[in-house]
Structure 1
Amino acid sequence: MTAEALPAGQPLRTTKETHPNLPPGLVLGPDGKPCKVCNSWQDWAKMKVKKKDDGAGTAPSTSKTAAGATAAAAAVALTASTSTSTPASADARANCPPDTAALGRATWTFLHTTAAYYPLTASKTQQTQMRSLLTSLPGLYPCTWCADDFGKDIVANPPDVTGRAGLSKWLCERHNEVNRKLGKTEFGCGEKNLAERWKDGPADGSCD
């Protein structure tokens, strides 16, 4: 599949036809190579499995069978994995550079929390600062296709920076837009929901 054949707003990914030596589905960066911060660590692990599997082709048939079984087992394990890592895998990767899921979670956490502490009614200076922060993200965010997609969303839906309630709801709606594209569960964007999630914690005191 070529870039022209991709749906608008979708990242360019590897296919068996375009990149026979790479696992299909990896997101490519502007340089045409797999983008580390645009893919999950599970995707990168698949690439290592494929390289090992390809390298086993020169081994004797018994070794090839063993290598194939090992690669197949690893592939099954990776397929079973989700973006929500188990505690053991999260601990094992605590010092690793962020993948696209970790970067996304950290960015959304920062933005939602910043909005939760934004003034109820923002001054002109604060509005300018917040607008600058949001509009700078498409030019600075490391995952280029994510940044481009967010940039288009900002143009189509200009941020409400007048105060806490408007900004919090706007960010929640932008986050849900991404969740819809990824097939994930959407968040409740009510004022009470957002305050509990990002500032006050639940009423039962479980986060105190």
Structure 2
Amino acid sequence: MSSTETKVASQEKAVDTPPKGLPQFGASGRRIIYDKDGKPCRACNTLLDFQLATGKSSKSRKEKKEHGQSTESSSSTIASTMPSTTSGTSYYTKVDPPDVTKLGRSSWSLLHSIAATYPEEPTTKQQQDMKSFLNLFAGFYPCWFCGEEFGKYMEKHKPDTGSQDDLGKWLCDAHNAVNKRLGKPKFDCQFWKKRWKDGWDEE
């Protein structure tokens, strides 16, 4: 084995085997995901799990989670007063970087919305561009673990970019695969356009 292969193997091992003293499972019951440098991945875990893994979670936050109360940190709702060169005072809401849940929800909304505006009869170039986009999306996704899983899904189930409906249903199936892994209910893909394009008819 070459030195490069040895280095890669050691990096992969660091991901699977977290450093001693760090938890392997978070408050959500899910496995803590670590980056290749051995540190907890912020974008791959829930905010609470990330804070517990890095020792930044307060006891009160933990108790709120156990009692089913909101775990939104005060840092996401407290306004911070910061000096401004123009108006003298400016107010900013301290919002934490998105965790795996917020990131996933936003990402799926984006992907489904892209499918909803994808051409009904795309050109060959548009079909290839969409496949390239999906592969790049997986490769640069902030949660490396999620991106790899999406990449593996695309290897087994090639993206269908033949038409708007084909892409919409393919993405819906891909979303359902993630829902199944997370123990969430499956969405009936025959209604994908109502959910992400046309809206629901008024009853």
TM above 0.5: yes
The structure-2 alpha-carbon separation of the partners of 1:173 and 1:43, relative to structure 1 and needing over 3 Å to count, comes to: same
State whether residues 46 and 78 of structure 1, in contact with CA within 8 Å, keep that contact through their aligned partners in structure 2: no
State whether residues 13 and 27 of structure 1, in contact with CA within 8 Å, keep that contact through their aligned partners in structure 2: no
Corresponding residue number in structure 1 for 2:48: 42
Q: Secondary structure at the match of 2:24?
A: coil
Point out the structure with the larger helix share.
Answer: 1
Corresponding residue number in structure 1 for 2:62: 75
State the TM-score, normalizing by the size of structure 1.
0.70
Output the CA distance in 2 between the equivalents of 1:179 and 1:13: 26
The structure-2 alpha-carbon separation of the partners of 1:127 and 1:51, relative to structure 1 and needing over 3 Å to count, comes to: closer
Corresponding residue number in structure 1 for 2:105: 105
Corresponding residue number in structure 1 for 2:20: 19
1:98-152 deviation per Cα after TM superposition (whole angstroms, max 9, x unaligned): 1111111111111101101111111112111111111112221111111111111
State the TM-score, normalizing by the size of structure 2.
0.72
Give the aligned length: 169
User: Unpaired segments of 5 or more residues in structure 2?
Assistant: 1-14, 26-31, 78-92
Alignment of 1:150-165 (within 5 A): 150-165=150-165
User: Percent identity over the alignment?
Assistant: 36
Corresponding residue number in structure 2 for 1:198: 196
Moved over 3 A (4+): 11-14, 79-82, 85-91
User: Unpaired segments of 5 or more residues in structure 1?
Assistant: 1-10, 53-69
Select the structure with the greater relative contact order (CA < 8 A; seq sep ≥ 6). 1
Output the CA distance in 1 between the equivalents of 2:72 and 2:34: 29
State whether residues 43 and 143 of structure 2, in contact with CA within 8 Å, keep that contact through their aligned partners in structure 1: yes
Corresponding residue number in structure 2 for 1:182: 182
CA RMSD of superposed structures (Å) = 2.9
